[in-house]
Structure 1
Amino acid sequence: MSTGTLYTFSGSGNSYKIRLLEAFLGINLKHEEIDFLGDQQHSPEFLKINPRGEVPTLVDGDKTFTDSSSILIWLAGKWDDEGKAEGPSSYWSNDLYEQAQIVNWLSFANSWVQYGVFVNRAILSYNGPYNGLGNNQKWPQEKLDVFLEEGAIRGNYSLGVLNQHLAHRPWLALDRPTIADLSVFVYVALAPMGDISLQPYPNVNAWIERVKGLPKFFPIEGLDDSLIRRR
């Protein structure tokens, strides 16, 4: 089943979240690869689609979604686990309380994770903080050092929160994997690309392995080699 056009960048963890859910649900989006490192996301043509200049972006018929969380909710709510338009899938819910629990972790991914482990990975493996701040050509090294220090503090704090939360449960929001797990997983699992170790967080590591063990899982660059972009 085909549904919509996904504007994506292969190195983007936020794009990867969508591609992972796409695989899990057995749907086929049309992929348009954006030259993110070449700043195509800020071209006049792309800004007409997403004025925020970000990937991923999904255009599904007359509807446009400009944030990974909204795309995850849309796809998991629209499609069931077999790729039929009879959603929601098990990665979302019809129950309001369960939806709130899932959104709670989507918010965590967009705040603590995005401004922690994400920033350090971006600087050390992609040469700039991104997050709408531009690349390293616009920032002196002393400012990047401040970002790295703050990112390490926030990153390790968020990993501690996750480690405690996962001490007695297998998944973040419900008793099954949901888009909450997909959203938080990516940049947490890629934290070593930003020199933030996962070794002190055994419950997080066990959860990462559970996500990696889900049917139809496939890796993103850097998952098995944290220095792949630094050689």
Structure 2
Amino acid sequence: MMIRLHDFELSGSCYKVRLLLNMLSVPYEKVSVDFVNRQHESPAYLELNPFGDLPILEDGSLRLHNAQAILTYVARKYDVFGIWYPSSASGASRIHQWLATASGELANLSRARLAKVFHYPFNLGDLHSSSRPALRVLDAHLQNRKWLELGRPTIADVACFPHVALANEAGISLSDFEYVSEWVERFKTIPGFIAMPGIASGS
């Protein structure tokens, strides 16, 4: 049975799952969800995910929500070479630091985008104030490296990329973050990269 991804085209969290599936050449069925009209909060979808958020991935009898958990599963099951998610304790823990950052500090960029684009009732000023320090940390981390960890693209990069690459839609320019900007463009050169509205293909 083919993987089924419950997806919203404009969601950064859904996009990161599409990215990894495409980079690993994993076939899947995409089920479009009307996020704007809150279809993901309907009774039918709350049966799939009681937290009422996207994405949701189904692979046979397994059902997962939370993009970071889904990335971990897809990489562990479908990356036969263990490139995207290492098996070593030190490598996996370093990756998980960034998965937590993607759903923590960098998630404020996503919330700011929800406020700007989808008019969610968030305090945009507070979200901008908390997002810029996170981008400064990321910029410093990338000053002397091409990828977040292990010297190669991993699911750490995939998890963090959409929030950062969509920062302009959140109302934050990346022009002050030189190394982050270079990393965003470098990410677009990974084989299997796909664009989404708001994130163009690389030059």
What letter is aligned with 1:107? A
Instruction: Tell me: CA distance 1:88–1:59, structure 2 relative to 1, closer, same or farther (3 Å).
Output: farther
Pairwise mapping of residues 156-171 of structure 1 onto structure 2 (< 5 A)?
156-171=132-147
What letter is aligned with 2:197? E
Q: Residue 112 of structure 1 corresponds to which residue in structure 2? A: 105
Give the conservation status (yes or no) of the 8 Å contact 1:77–1:88: no
Pairwise mapping of residues 140-179 of structure 1 onto structure 2 (< 5 A)?
144=122, 147-179=123-155
Question: In 2, distance between residues paired with 1:110 and 1:60?
Answer: 23
Q: Residue 122 of structure 1 corresponds to which residue in structure 2? A: 114
Question: In 2, distance between residues paired with 1:168 and 1:3?
Answer: 40
Please say which structure displays the higher CA radius of gyration.
Answer: 1
Structure 1 residue 120, shift from structure 2 partner: 1.3
Q: Which among 89, 95, 100 is matched to residue 88 of structure 2?
A: 95
Give the TM-score normalised by the residue count of structure 1. Answer: 0.84
Question: In 2, distance between residues paired with 1:25 and 1:150?
Answer: 37
C-alpha distance after superposition, 1:19-62 (max 9, x if no partner): 00011000111111110111000111111111111110111111
Question: In 2, distance between residues paired with 1:15 and 1:88?
Answer: 24
Give the TM-score normalised by the residue count of structure 2. Answer: 0.95
C-alpha distance after superposition, 1:127-151 (max 9, x if no partner): 11xxxxxxxxxx4xxxx4xx11111
Kindly tell me the number of residue pairs found equivalent between the two proteins.
200
Which structure has more relative contact order (CA 8 Å, sep 6+)? It is 2
Q: Are 1:32 and 2:31 matched, yes or no?
A: yes
Structure 1 residue 184, shift from structure 2 partner: 0.4
Secondary structure of the residue that 2:158 maps to in structure 1? helix
Secondary structure of the residue that 1:193 maps to in structure 2? helix
Q: Residue 218 of structure 1 corresponds to which residue in structure 2? A: 194
Q: Residue 158 of structure 2 corresponds to which residue in structure 1? A: 182
Question: In 1, distance between residues paired with 2:28 and 2:53?
Answer: 18
Runs of 4+ residues deviating >6 angstroms = none
Secondary structure of the residue that 1:167 maps to in structure 2? coil
What letter is aligned with 1:119? R
Structure 1 residue 3, shift from structure 2 partner: 3.6
Question: In 2, distance between residues paired with 1:150 and 1:117?
Answer: 11
Show structure 2 runs of 5+ residues with no match.
Answer: none
Give the conservation status (yes or no) of the 8 Å contact 2:24–2:192: no
Secondary structure of the residue that 2:53 maps to in structure 1? coil
Question: In 2, distance between residues paired with 1:106 and 1:31?
Answer: 24
Give the conservation status (yes or no) of the 8 Å contact 1:3–1:27: no
Question: In 2, distance between residues paired with 1:165 and 1:68?
Answer: 23
Show structure 1 runs of 5+ residues with no match.
Answer: 81-86, 129-138, 225-231
Give the conservation status (yes or no) of the 8 Å contact 1:4–1:60: yes
Give the conservation status (yes or no) of the 8 Å contact 2:139–2:177: yes
Question: In 2, distance between residues paired with 1:161 and 1:209?
Answer: 18
